[in-house]
Each structure stands twice: as structure tokens, then as C-alpha cells.
Structure 1
Amino acid sequence: MYLPTVLAGFFALSAVAMPLSSLEPRDLKCARPGDCNRLLDFTISTPRGNDGQIKVDFTIWDDNKATNATTTCSASWKAGTDGWPQQYTTCDDDEFEWSFSKFNSATEWHMEAAHGYLDSPNFYVRSFFNGTAVDADFKCETDATGTRECSLKPDRVINLRWYASIA
């Protein structure tokens, strides 16, 4: 009796958890508060060659009505290695965590994020989000030392789509 409901829920979650396609308008999938966490700014710097550190800084916003929270996240790792955050990394607000599930380059990656919050005085929720960035989202410049800095274009927001919550 409950099997059709369980299967329908499973397939609905599976469809939602698919990464956002680079060919789809990003904001159309996130029309309602709580549909997405949004990367409002994102800067990544990469050194020339393999000497030095790759550094990433960004602001993430959960516009869910229960939280409406924003925090800053950052990480660094040695250039030329696969040391990019593959496990959850805590942000300044430790209720937010993130990781790269795929990192092809500074401007092409797939991110996972989680945010925990109190939905009511005694009801803690942890929600999960994911999304993809592509070259077209960024503007990059290289300085005299060869360091390349890529920042999210002013008219861009990277949406990390909600796919699951645990209460």
C-alpha cells in the first residue's frame, strides 16, 4: 500500500538531485524561497604552475523563510594536486558546510552544500543542495605574477538546488 508512495518519492528526489545543466536558465528553477542556496559571489585564485595555493572564497545564502541566513566560506589547497575540498568543509557560520564533488578547473566544478537550522523551537532540519558552475559564469584576469583570479560575473548567481532534507 505504501510502496507506490515510497517509489514516487524516491524518483522525485532522484530527479531533483540531478545537477543543473549549463544550458538551462539558472534562476528559473529557484523561484520560491527555500528552493536553492545561492552563491552570491565567488572568487577563486590560481597560481601560475604548481607552486602556491589555490584559494576560494564565496558567500552562500539560504533564502528559506525559516532561516534567511548568509555566510562566508573559504578553502585553499596546493596547486597541482587533487587537494580540493572533497569532504564537507565548515563555513564561518558552522551550520553551513560545502564540498566540491567534481573540480575540473577554477571555472568548471560541481558543489554540494548542507545547511542545518531550527525550523521551530524544537525541530532541527538539515537540508542538502548541489549545483554546477561553468566558464560562462566567471570573469577571469591574470596579474603580472601569473596568478589568475576568477570572479562570478556581476549578473550571475550560481544556484545550488535543494534535493533533500533530514529532520
Structure 2
Amino acid sequence: MKQFLIPLAIIASPAAAQDNAEVALAKATLEALQGPSFAANREYCGYIVIDADGELAATPAVQGAIGHCEADEPPEDSVPIASYHTHGAFDYDTPAEFPSVGDLEADEAEGVDGYISTPGGRLWYVDGVDQIASQLCGVGCLSQHPDFEAGLDGELQISYTIDELRALEAE
């Protein structure tokens, strides 16, 4: 009986839709961008791709604006599988500890999944097809902005559907 429970537990986990190498690459890429993102108070973004050699790779990050980033097109000989972006520096008036509806809609439109880091050091995964955002790791998992204060965005859930995010943004 236990042999059937283990696969079900794996399937039910928030990270089941992506493999460990992809998550590790996204986490390392976003961790490297947290400091520059905080310092510039800008989003940084790019793609995780399967390159021409069949290897996972992250495209070079592009500096965006406050609350918005548009990555350069991935190389033509690669296959984009996920976007990635930071949420910039901590700001008392900007809820940035969870993905936005726009984040999910952008990934869906591009036909990719997504990874997002927050000023509090959270790492989120966006399932671009099912339109669900899942927290892969919580506060402090990645570098935090020095002024970050936990709890200002309320008590956050482990995952959100796009409709739940719409309701959260409307509060």
C-alpha cells in the first residue's frame, strides 16, 4: 500500500509540474538577481530554456521597470519552458509577496510556466496552463530586502488560482 502513497504524494506537491533541475536553475538565477533588483528597485526577467545542446539554461536577465519587465526573445535555437522575474525592492505600498494576475496571464499568453522571487525571499512557481501559482518556498528562502516586513500582504496561502489572485488584488 505504501508504494502507491509515495507517487500520490509526489503528484500532489506544488513542484510536481517541473523537475528538480529546472527548480534549482530558477532558484539560483533568481537568487543571483535579488541584490541587483533590490538596489535598482526594478524587476529583472528572462527565460529558462532548453538550449541548442538540449541543456537547461537561463537567458541573460533584462532590467525592467517598477512592476513590469519584458524579457528579450530567447535564442531561436532554444525552446522556452518558463519565464523568471524578480519583484524588485520592498515597498510598504506595493503588494509584492505573491504573483499578480498579470504574471499568470503573461505566462499563459506565452505558453510557458514561470518563476517569481519576492522582496521577502519567497519563490513562486506559476503553472501557465492551469493558471495556478504555488509557493515553492517561503519567506527567507531567497535573499530578502533589508527593509522587508513580513505580514504586510496579509496571511498568504501556499497556492492561488487566477480567480483567487483577482480577489486578493481587489482587497
Q: TM-score range by the shorter chain?
A: 0.3 to 0.5
Higher RCO, Cα 8 Å, sep 6+: 1
Greater share of residues in helix? 2
Q: TM-score, normalised by structure 2?
A: 0.35
Greater share of residues in strand? 1
- Larger C-alpha radius of gyration, 1 or 2? 1
